[in-house]
Amino acid sequence: KSMQILDSLGLHKTSTWPTLLLACVAGVSAYQTIPRFPGAALSRGPACGYRSAHQLTPLRGFSTESRRVGPNLSKRCMQRWKEIRTGVAMMQTNDKTETDRRLQSEDENSLENAKFQSYQGEIFCNRALNMKRIRAIGFDMDYTLAQYIPETFEILAIHGALEKLVKHMGYPEEILSLPEYDPSMFQRGLIIDKERGNIIKMDRHHYVKVAFHGMRAMEKEERLAVYGSQSQKDFSDSENFANIDTLFSLPDAFMYSQLVTFVDDNRNKFPGLLSKSYKQIYKDVRRSVDLCHRDGVIKDKVAQDPGKYIQSEPGIVDMLRRYRRSGRKVFLLTNSLWDYTNVVMNFICGNMKKEDYTLDWLSMFDLVIVGANKPAFLENGKLPIFRVHTEDGRLSNLENALFDPPSQTLRDGKVFQGGNFNHLHYFMKDTVNAGEQVMYVGDHMFSDVIRGKRSLGWRTALVVPELQHEVDVMLREKVRSKRIQELRELRDELDEWVDRLSLLLVSCDEDEACALTDRRESIASELEKAKEEIRTVKTVYAEELLMYHSAFHPVWGQMFKVGYQNSRFAQQVENYACLYTSKVSNLCLVSPEMNHRTQMDLMPHDQLEETPIRRILRARARNIVESLGSSE
């Protein structure tokens, strides 16, 4: 076996038989992992020859006499360690000038690179999508065509809901004095644990990695006591959990967390709170917010001054017209009712005042469905549809008209309310033959993307406004990211050394002659030192990873990641969104005929040279060469 390995490395042709034999005795057969006799110590140093059975051969970079981390590394490893520590110290002291200098030096060869140090509106592709095959494209309105200003729009829901909680649901007036809404407190992709009063973040394997109880961060021990280290795989089908999968849900999460803390602190002070379980608090919050959307507390104020609550985005009109001119059916599918939809779409088209409102915006669509009640629209094929009379907002029954050709039905008006996916397909049946010929663009992970793709086979595009911030921070923090990767590699090297020492210890314990010698004590001592070194590296690594994630969000970190794993939100984006981008007008950056292509999916074995086990085996194979060179 040893000869086969040496032959693969091309060594036996140039080495003498004594050298080969000595190499084998010294543990050159690294891929067999466990030495067969006491003297077979795996070497790791450039000057590591054969040692007696009672001596430990130092591995590359380690000395059996060392006591501290620094001196216990070889020149090469110690230099790497110093470089990493220098970079870490620089970032920990926020030496922005030095960081900027390093970034500039990396890109000084191209002025063009300076422009691309930030997000440029790229459209990312998870599943190849040739737009030539899309015959109809639909859009959601709220948080898709219309992006709201969090500091003004979302606070309407907070104030209105708190007032309803006091007036109608038995909460004390003191909740009206709770701290003002902070739109940056939470992020999309989190999950509300209604049973326990917690907000949690999961990785793609559904393990809870970050948790809050109310407004208080849960320590690791507390989090593990509640959720353990097991995957919470059944949460999505449970009535005890709610997803924060749209920006509309962020005020709900904030208010729920505030009320959980308030009730915990004041349950005995106010009799009305004694019956309020965490699940009931959530139900009250949802009911109060829904009432605000229905009774005009929110949308009436937006209609009075749209510019105060909606961001202006000029490129949307050109985008819609471009798709219409390309010969595709263009439709609007929104849960908002007609009167509010008319206000928002007029604002998007540049009509800022009520007296300027017209119905000209309807020319950008072949079909408009309001009050759609998604996701039920995409699931329940029996929901009734009504015609909207745009002059006064009246509704009339449409069921009998659906027996007529679509062109005849649309001749009397193209604005409808309610209905279901069968009605939508009926109106487009002259153009669309299959679900894959429809693309729907929305912001709601469940109602717009998951349901459309799962139930109807639609192609999907997800609008993720947070992507601008995520990509910008990722590019800005690339120096720290590189340091973190170097720390991971150094940790892997130390892991490899610990693994070899552990195998040597096992081998020695199996040999009675070795077990009673000083050699075993030397191995055990070196093993403990190596483990201490790993703990030190892991501590620095954890600190750096925390600082990296804090640059994205001080509490929840990078939205698409949990540590080094993809977050559950990232997994959903990858699985269900064919395309994703920061805003809908980015579709104007490419033609309506664009062929969107994916990048290669990579599994660990596809990145073979980057896997820790591959580096371990390479290190051990490299020591074969080093040992032979030293012996000769």
pLDDT in tens, 229-250: 666 665 655 789 999 999 999 9
Q: Tell me the two tokens of residue 431.
A: 């153009």
Summarize the confidence of residues 292-297 as an average pLDDT: 86
Q: What is the pTM of this model?
A: 0.80
DSSP 294-317: HTTTTHHHHHH-HHHHB---THHH
Is residue 139 within 8 A of residue 463, CB to CB? The reply is: no
Angle at 355 between CA 349 and CA 361, to 5 degrees: 25
User: Both tokens of residue 564?
Assistant: 């080094």
CA–CA gap between residue 319 and residue 316 (Å, rounded) = 5
Helix 150-168 and helix 250-266: axis angle, to 10°?
40
Name which of 298, 308, 320 is nearest 141 in CA terms.
320
In tens, the pLDDT along 186-229 reads 999 999 999 999 999 999 999 999 999 999 999 999 999 999 86
Could you identify the residue written with the tokens 């709900």?
A: 252
Q: Which alpha helices (H) appear in 96-219, and where do they start and end?
A: 96-107, 111-115, 150-168
Q: What percent of the chain is predicted at pLDDT more than 90?
A: 58
Pairing mode of beta strands 136-139, 329-333: parallel
How far, in Å, are 127, 175, 196, 444, 450 from residue 573 at the CA level?
11, 36, 27, 11, 9
Residue 280: CB atoms within 10 Å: 13
- Look up tokens 């109060």; give the residue: 288
pLDDT of 509: 75
Task: Note if the bond before 375 is cis, omega within 30 degrees.
Answer: yes
Residues 397/431, Cβ–Cβ less than 8 Å: no
Domain boundaries, the chain: 124-147+310-469, 150-304
pLDDT, one tens digit per residue, over 317-330 is 999 999 999 999 99
Q: What is the mean pLDDT of the chain?
A: 82
Contact between residue 419 and residue 428 where contact means Cβ atoms under 8 Å apart: no
φ and ψ at 566, to 5 degrees?
Answer: -65, 145
pLDDT digits (tens, 9 = 90+) for 364-418: 999 999 999 999 999 999 999 999 999 999 999 987 777 788 988 998 899 999 9
Pick from 527, 548, 587, 526: which is nearest to 91 by CA?
548
- Whether the pLDDT of residue 26 is over 90: the answer is no
Q: Tokens 């030496």 map to which residue?
A: 95
Q: Which two three-digit tokens encode residue 357?
A: 């409102």
Mean pLDDT value across residues 89-103: 53
What top-level class would CATH report for the domain 124-147+310-469?
Answer: alpha beta
Q: Which of 439, 467, 462, 438 is nearest to 449 (CA)?
A: 462
